[in-house]
Amino acid sequence: MSFVSVRNVFQSYDRRPILERVNLEVEEGEFVSIVGASGCGKSTFLRLLLADETPTRGTITVAGGAPAREPGRERGVVFQRYSVFPHLSVRDNIVAAESFPTGWGWFRGGKLRAARGRADEVLERIGLAHVAGNYPATLSGGMQQRLAIGQALHARPRILLLDEPFGALDPGTRVSMHEFLTDLRAETKMTVFMVTHDLAEGFKLGDRVLVFDKTRWDPDFPEAYGATITFDFDARDHGVPYQRILDKIPSLAAAAMPSPA
Ligand SMILES: Nc1ncnc2c1ncn2[C@@H]1O[C@H](COP(=O)(O)OP(=O)(O)OP(=O)(O)O)[C@@H](O)[C@H]1O
C-alpha cells in the first residue's frame, strides 16, 4: 500500500470541472513536482492533499487512514508569498507554529521559554539564528521564505506541500533555497509535493514530475472539462533529461510556463 493514495478524484466549483479522474500513488519520502498551465488546477490539487477542501468525488488517503476532513499537523504548507506573522519576531514566528495548532493559545512562563529554546534550534538549522530577535520585514525574501519553511517543518509534518515556494525569489536566492530544501529533505525524509512553473526546478528537486493538463478540449466551451495527470516522469538521479522531454513533447514547455499576464 502506498503512502498517499489518490483514487479517482474529481473537483468542481459551481459545477465547473477543474480536476477529473486524478489517480496517483506516492511512496513515503518521495518528492513529487507538479507542473501545468496556469489555472489548470495545481493549487486546487494541493488544497485537496492538504484536506483544506474535500473532493467532489473520489478519495485521498494517507497511510491507509480514513480520508481527512480538515488539515492536521501531519500536513504542512508553504505558499509563494511568505506567510509569516509580521508583528512577531523571527523566533516567535517559530513558536507560533508550535503553539497555535495545539489550540492552547500563546505559551506563557516556562512553556514559552522552552518553546523559544526549541525555536532557536530550528533557527540554527535553517540559518536564521543570527536574526532571531528581528521582525520579518527586516529580512530578505529568501530569509522570509526560509522562515516560512521552518514554520511548516516545526510541526514535523509527514507531508510538506509547497505552492511555488520560490516563485517570488531572484535566481541566486532560488539556487540557495534549492540546496536548503535538498538538505532538509535528506534530514527529515518527508514526502513533498511542490507546484512549480519552472520545469528545470521540478526536475532538479523532484523524484517524479507530474504534468496536469486537459485530455479533452471543446473550443466552443473551454470550461467543459477539467485537467488530470497526463505525464508522470521519473526524475530520480536526473534519470530523464528534461530537455529531451521538451524536445519530444514541445507542448510541455508552454504548459510549464506561466501564461502572459
Ligand atoms: N474556491 C474556488 N471557487 C471557485 N473557483 C475556484 C476556486 N479555487 C480555484 N478556482 C478556479 O479553479 C481553477 C484552477 O485554479 P488553481 O489555482 O488550482 O490553478 P493553478 O493551476 O494552481 O493556477 P496557477 O498556475 O495560475 O497558480 C481556476 O480557474 C480558478 O479560478
pLDDT (tens digit per residue) in 202-249:
988 999 999 999 888 888 877 878 999 999 988 886 556 667 777 766
Pairwise CA distance, residues 146 & 51, whole Å: 24
* Gap from CA of 18 to ligand 1 centroid (Å): 8
Asked if the structure places residue 103 within a domain, the reply is: no
Backbone angles phi, psi at 132, to 5 degrees: -55, -35
Q: Looking at residue 138, what is its pLDDT?
A: 96
Domain region containing 49: 4-74+157-255
Q: How many residues does the chain have?
A: 261
Pairwise CA distance, residues 222 & 218, whole Å: 5
At residue 83, does pLDDT exceed 70? yes
| 4-13 β-sheet, strand order | 57-62, 4-13, 16-26, 227-234, 208-214, 31-36, 191-195, 159-163, 75-78
Q: Is 41 in the pocket of ligand 1 (CB under 6 A)?
A: yes
Q: Report residue 243 as a C-alpha cell.
A: 530537455
At residue 118, does pLDDT exceed 80? yes
Q: Report residue 27 as a C-alpha cell.
A: 511512496
Q: Looking at residue 13, what is its pLDDT?
A: 96
Q: Residue 125 — pLDDT band, cuts 50, 70, 90?
A: confident
Asked if the structure places residue 27 within a domain, the reply is: yes
- Give the closest residue to 138 by CA, choosing from 96, 89, 185: 89
Asked if the structure places residue 210 within a domain, the reply is: yes
Task: Please report which helix (H) or strand (E) contains residue 172, including its range.
Answer: helix 171-188
* Gap from CA of 232 to ligand 1 centroid (Å): 21
Q: Report residue 26 as a C-alpha cell.
A: 506516492
Q: Is 18 in the pocket of ligand 1 (CB under 6 A)?
A: yes
Mean of pLDDT values over 178-192: 86
Closest residue by CA, ligand 1 atom 8: 44
Average pLDDT for the chain = 86
Q: Looking at residue 256, what is its pLDDT?
A: 52
Q: Is 251 in the pocket of ligand 1 (CB under 6 A)?
A: no
Q: Is 46 in the pocket of ligand 1 (CB under 6 A)?
A: no
* CATH number for the domain harbouring residue 173: 3.40.50.300
Asked if the structure places residue 43 within a domain, the reply is: yes
* Gap from CA of 141 to ligand 1 centroid (Å): 25
* Gap from CA of 231 to ligand 1 centroid (Å): 20
Residue tagged 530544501 (cell numbers):
181
Asked if the structure places residue 99 within a domain, the reply is: no
Asked if the structure places residue 133 within a domain, the reply is: no
ipTM score assigned to the predicted complex: 0.96
At residue 30, does pLDDT exceed 60? yes
Task: Let me know: does 203 contact 196? Beta carbons within 8 Å.
Answer: no
Q: Which of 44, 166, 225 to mutate to test the pocket of ligand 1 (most atoms within 8 A of CB)?
A: 44
Check residue 258 and report its DSSP letter.
P
pTM of the model: 0.88
Asked if the structure places residue 137 within a domain, the reply is: no
Asked if the structure places residue 128 within a domain, the reply is: no
Q: Residue 56 — pLDDT band, cuts 50, 70, 90?
A: very high
Residue tagged 487512514 (cell numbers):
65
As for how many domains the chain has, the answer is: 1
Selection from 54-63, 212-221, 251-260 with the highest mean pLDDT: 54-63
At residue 163, does pLDDT exceed 90? yes
Number of the ligand 1 atom closest to the C-alpha atom of 47 = 18
At residue 54, does pLDDT exceed 90? yes
* Gap from CA of 82 to ligand 1 centroid (Å): 20
Strands (E) located in 111-217: 159-163, 191-195, 208-214
